[in-house]
Amino acid sequence: MRLRQYLICAAAIAGLSLAGCSGTNLVPNTGPSSDGEGGQPGPSFTQFTDIPMPSNSSLDMDKSIIFGASDAWHGRLVMNAGGSPAQMYDFYEREMPNFGWSKVTVVRADISVLVYDRENRVATIKLTGGSFAGSIVDITVSPKG
């Protein structure tokens, strides 16, 4: 059983590594998005229509790796958000169900982790404090099972 889990994990890592060469273009737009502070319109990322994006965030292209498209993408998104980790926790806990995600488990602490599932995918959201202000939002979406 352990060998099977190891092989699945190794295959996933290899797939993510190869996906980094695919040239996926992540383009922000100014479509409507909730910002965690009253839902004012602001920037969102057009490629990610199934995950809420706080309007006060910017994508860290060096740490993000995505393959697939639309509501079938997998990979890792890393964002720098203007809100505190506590504000981002509240934002994702409130907004994920609006995008069809069901809560699996959460841990609210200095480093918070929220886990959701939707159809055949699992999303893990890790929230940490930013180096100067705000927070780092690390979202990993992978196939379920």
| Strand bridging mode 121-129 / 112-118 | antiparallel
- Is the predicted pLDDT of residue 4 greater than 50, yes or no? no
Q: Report the share of the chain in percent with pLDDT over 90.
A: 54
Structure tokens at 108: 């609210």
Single-letter amino acid, residue 24: T
Residue 68: pLDDT band by 50, 70, 90 thresholds? confident
pLDDT in tens, 104-137: 999 999 999 999 999 999 999 999 998 788 999 9
Q: How many other C-beta atoms are found inside a 10 Å radius of the C-beta of residue 112?
A: 19
- Mean pLDDT score of the chain: 76
CA distances from 22 to 101, 105, 116, 140 (A): 27, 32, 27, 18
- Is the predicted pLDDT of residue 20 greater than 60, yes or no? no
Q: Is the model's pTM score more than 0.75?
A: no
